[in-house]
Structure 1
């Protein structure tokens, strides 16, 4: 299958159409010596804007009860009332931020373009720059932390960075992956009792059973780009998903795969790209993507209901809201919806 969502220019830079960015922006080499945090003496801060809540947002996460969303122009927004109102944080960058991750109510990190890594120790209200590498000319696209000290960031051209001191320093450990073609790495997630998983360009799929110290290459379920991975809630179970509605399920830690059919309400087959997923407290799994697609599974990913929002805006992130509702982010900013993804009052 061709790769229409990922293009490289002759200069080696990634071309960034809007839809590519919305699918986790669509989407380092040999290990370098320890890299110290590289915050500039003078920082360029994101511009305060009353329209930030309706700007392009690429991820949303919980910091305890607080919601934190990140996106274009260095925008970081947080809400303490279940998404009804949002405050723009002071952030030392105007680069696009692609992902955010919190390990507890206070400690979180965000990644973005120019291999940027930001950190917060107050639940997302303020941020500091831990690392950036302008020479890479490529973004980081996702991150995962075991605790407040140890974590990984991944991204374009096979980037894999590790910290063991809360981000005070970062190691380039890209050579732990057998990724000679430096395929883009789009998502990283933990599957309980099965290990860490990374998915990426051209069906790339890697697994670590020792918390990221070594990685093995798995045979992926197809050759198109994978944009997300999430635990299914079953023993050794996980889901991966990507281009044109492709979604696959494994119950043996990625050794074998079954494609999950996705039928729309009109009887057709979902063909929109899938960008992000979240697991709810009740065990439900949500997946969102282009065309306003909101998928929900209540059986560990064996089947999904599919709802396409009438506005058809591309969605890049999802998390639980209050009273069973959802918080969606993507093109046009934040949307608070019913449990199906519909606007309140819609079916």
Structure 2
């Protein structure tokens, strides 16, 4: 009996020590919860954008635009589907935003999405995947010709999108575009990363560890950026895109989008409900199971505790961390 009591006490002490070690290891590690939001739609949602918890936007592959004003709990459809895919949304402030899509479509709003105006840039064979504005007047849209990998398109405006001028473009389709200032820009193409130092007039290959296709760019400041590829992992730069290095261990993942809230905390999403996060600026990544089998196409975090993911077949996921 005495030895049994000693055994029980030892077991309790060991369990307490084990719990203490476990708690210490988990300290500072986010514990994520994934909540599925049902919009009663099977439309592929291509892009999610958050101005603040009261202004959250979704664009769809059938032409819909949805808005949430309650942190993603409920959604209203502001634009009915018309069969023309919308690919990317970008807001420069609370009221002014743009949406690019197929068939040369470009939508714009100046009243926080209450109304949208539509124009066609180029022709109906144009497909625009990216938009970037330096300010309310000066901006770019980018993409390519449908079903033509070697036909990249880049247009610029200096009058808030009233007129668009075609720029000299890279030879391949542009999937993502970032400008670091009025002159320096970087784009992802089907031939790898390209850079410009003259406002998009000419483009040169970036120095990276791969010339494989990359899908998405994200810069948190002038120096720190990340690029993600559909089957090529995550690449990082700490010198404004002059050189890039692959984040080891991510090469196996098919990634569709990437987002950072600061130079340390970031997230990447992709095929079959893939969800990755990093706490060290992308040096290493951890994968979490989400219970979702549909592809994730876009991720956006308002802060380190609250984010949203959207994807195929009407997928919208609310992401929160445990307190």
TM-score (norm 1): 0.72
Instruction: Provide the aligned C-alpha RMSD in A.
Output: 2.7
Decide whether the 8 Å contact of 1:79 with 1:87 is kept in 2: yes
In structure 1, C-alpha distance between the alignment counterparts of 2:275 and 2:142, rounded to whole Å: 25
Indicate whether 1:327 and 2:312 are aligned.
no
Gaps of 5+ in 1: 1-49, 264-269
After TM superposition, give the deviation of residue 209 of structure 1 in Å. Answer: 3.8
In structure 2, C-alpha distance between the alignment counterparts of 1:96 and 1:239, rounded to whole Å: 26
1:77-226 correspondence runs (5 A): 77-90=66-79, 93-135=82-124, 137-156=125-144, 157-173=151-167, 175=168, 177=169, 179=170, 182-191=171-180, 195-203=184-192, 205-212=193-200, 214-226=202-214
After TM superposition, give the deviation of residue 211 of structure 1 in Å. Answer: 4.4
- Which moves more between the two structures, 92-101 or 74-83? 92-101
Give the structure 1 partner of residue 243 of structure 2. 256
Give the structure 1 partner of residue 299 of structure 2. 318
The 3 A distance-change label for structure 1 pair 77 and 283 is farther
In structure 2, C-alpha distance between the alignment counterparts of 1:197 and 1:100, rounded to whole Å: 18
After TM superposition, give the deviation of residue 219 of structure 1 in Å. Answer: 3.4
Give the structure 1 partner of residue 60 of structure 2. 71
The 3 A distance-change label for structure 1 pair 107 and 193 is closer
How many residues of Structure 1 are paired with residues of Structure 2 in the alignment? 277
Decide whether the 8 Å contact of 2:309 with 2:319 is kept in 1: no
Give the structure 1 partner of residue 29 of structure 2. none
After TM superposition, give the deviation of residue 83 of structure 1 in Å. Answer: 0.7
In structure 2, C-alpha distance between the alignment counterparts of 1:112 and 1:251, rounded to whole Å: 31
In structure 1, C-alpha distance between the alignment counterparts of 2:281 and 2:180, rounded to whole Å: 13
In structure 2, C-alpha distance between the alignment counterparts of 1:238 and 1:332, rounded to whole Å: 30
Decide whether the 8 Å contact of 2:308 with 2:316 is kept in 1: yes
In structure 1, C-alpha distance between the alignment counterparts of 2:111 and 2:67, rounded to whole Å: 11
Bigger Cα Rg: 2
In structure 2, C-alpha distance between the alignment counterparts of 1:141 and 1:103, rounded to whole Å: 17
The 3 A distance-change label for structure 1 pair 214 and 134 is closer
In structure 1, C-alpha distance between the alignment counterparts of 2:43 and 2:82, rounded to whole Å: 16
Runs of 4+ in 1 over 6 A off after TM superposition: none
The structure in which a higher percent of residues are strand is 2
TM-score (norm 2): 0.77
SS of the aligned residue for 2:62 comes to: helix
In structure 1, C-alpha distance between the alignment counterparts of 2:51 and 2:220, rounded to whole Å: 22
Decide whether the 8 Å contact of 2:216 with 2:228 is kept in 1: yes
SS of the aligned residue for 1:189 comes to: strand
In structure 1, C-alpha distance between the alignment counterparts of 2:307 and 2:112, rounded to whole Å: 20
Indicate whether 1:58 and 2:39 are aligned.
no
